[in-house]
Amino acid sequence: MSTEYEPVIGLEIHVQLKTRTKMFCGCELSFGEEPNTRTCPICLGLPGTLPVTNAQAVQYGIMMGLALGCEIAPRSIFHRKNYFYPDLAKGYQISQYDIPLCLGGRLGDVRIHRIHLEEDAAKLVHVGASGRIHGSEASVVDYNRGGTPLAEIVTEPDLRSAEQARDWLQLLRETLRQLGVSDVNMEEGSLRCDANVSIRPKGTHALGTKTELKNMNSFRYVMQGINAEIARQTALLESGESVTQETLHFDPVSGRISSLRSKEEAHDYRYFPEPDLVPIVPTPEMMAAAEAAIPELPADREARYESDFGIPTDTAHLFAYEPTWGTYFERVAVEGNRDAKAAAIWVTELRTRLGADADPHKSAVVPAQLAALAALVAAKKVTAGSARTVLDKMVETGDHPDRIAEAEGLTVMEDSGELSQIVAKVISENPDVVEKVRGGNAKAMGALVGPIMRETKGRADGGEVNRLLREQLGV
């Protein structure tokens, strides 16, 4: 019998902060400008220059810490991480080491170990056919990115599957996006994820040897990479070999994992306290400003929608991750005397029409009118099908649903005599179906509903149609 293994996963996430300027100089952040146009003597590491800490980055760091329930250090310091590489203008990266800005914390079911601030490296561009360093004709450096503020978030090893890791990373991404501290775009590199992966026999507690999987630049790759590494480690252990602690690269094209050969192999970063900078000592004013800048976050919003509004988890999740729609939903629910389930359904319908990225507050459909539409359906004055047609018109014209339903003749037929005649007509036109139904196949009756709805242009109430059919067919 083979042993069943349990994966143990921790994540290290680098987040590019959306400040106006770089971490330690006044250069504006770069978004695809010409290479080396967003640079100055400081971020180029010219002789004699000194760093100055970006106050906005510190505030974003404190906001992240508060949002994730961390303790904000009363005094944290920067260290120098020393290594030679052309992407590092000074020969060291200014980072935080043993006294980071934020310690402890939690998001969902994953504990946060720490959050610290640092500066990003520049970008190496390898000139040549492949675009990779091996076989390139030359490597050139674009310092635009050098010095961009980064926050590094390190989790405890609390994740137990690749899927869980992906879902949690999505929650973190949404939380950071709504905090407004980062663009959190994995493809563009403003959110980067490394994973520490180990496995152990299920039921045991000792941690296995971990490997570090680098820079997977999409949620899919995070999941694929971790799964591939779990499979690799499982195969190793099952064949009696052991896992080596190393840094690995996941190639999403081949699905293969390879040992990373680069600066990461480097060994001794000779950390020491950065003598050019003073400690970060958050004042009560800084803490209050950070606190005040934090909006309601997705995990809280989702829980509130479920408990206060009683809407289904999926919808609550959707509105929590798209807070503009969430806020709109709340207004519709309030306008509709808190018939929140109906409000959720019609807000979701509106979202399908406008698109998830649209701002419903700017659309022609005001919350009170969407609530009125839900009320029409609840009162059985229009059918659900007709209401969709009414909504199409509302999006187009901004008219009140009552008026649209009236003008378009979409109100439910109140005269059951007229409906009764239509039912009789359809029965008479479909003798073969009628035969099946009378022969005991009740389901065949459904074939008559469609033509009836067509005849009534969708204005008939489904329940009433069924009742009349049964009555007239005598079943």
Task: Give residues in contact with another protein (CB under 8 A).
Answer: 41, 44-53, 80, 82, 84, 86, 89-92, 139, 141, 267-268, 270-272, 275-278
> How near is the Cβ of 271 to another protein at its closest, in Å?
8
88 in helix, strand or coil?
Answer: coil
Residue closest to 24 by CA, chosen among 2, 57, 46: 57
Joined tokens for residue 123:
């970008």
> How near is the Cβ of 70 to another protein at its closest, in Å?
24
> How near is the Cβ of 273 to another protein at its closest, in Å?
9
Residue (92 or 329) nearer to another protein, CB: 92
> How near is the Cβ of 31 to another protein at its closest, in Å?
23
> How near is the Cβ of 25 to another protein at its closest, in Å?
9
Residue type, 306: E
> How near is the Cβ of 116 to another protein at its closest, in Å?
18
Cβ-based neighbour number of residue 124 at 10 Å: 14
Residue (276 or 308) nearer to another protein, CB: 276
Q: How far apart are CA 293 and CA 62, in angstroms?
A: 10
Residue closest to 332 by CA, chosen among 348, 321, 320: 348
187 in helix, strand or coil?
Answer: coil
Q: How far apart are CA 153 and CA 111, in angstroms?
A: 11
Residue (275 or 284) nearer to another protein, CB: 275
Residue (51 or 336) nearer to another protein, CB: 51
Residue (86 or 398) nearer to another protein, CB: 86
Q: How far apart are CA 367 and CA 236, in angstroms?
A: 59
Residue (83 or 219) nearer to another protein, CB: 83
Residue (21 or 164) nearer to another protein, CB: 21
What is the CB-side half-sphere exposure of residue 60 using CA atoms within 13 A?
Answer: 30
The contacts found for 166-171 with CB under 8 angstroms, 24 or more apart, are 166/219, 166/220, 166/222, 166/223, 168/11, 168/107, 168/108, 168/109, 168/110, 169/11, 169/13, 169/193, 169/219, 169/222, 170/219, 171/107, 171/108, 171/298, 171/299
What is the CB-side half-sphere exposure of residue 463 using CA atoms within 13 A?
Answer: 5
> How near is the Cβ of 135 to another protein at its closest, in Å?
14
> How near is the Cβ of 236 to another protein at its closest, in Å?
29
Residue (278 or 475) nearer to another protein, CB: 278
Residue 470 sits at φ, ψ, to 5 deg, of: -60, -40
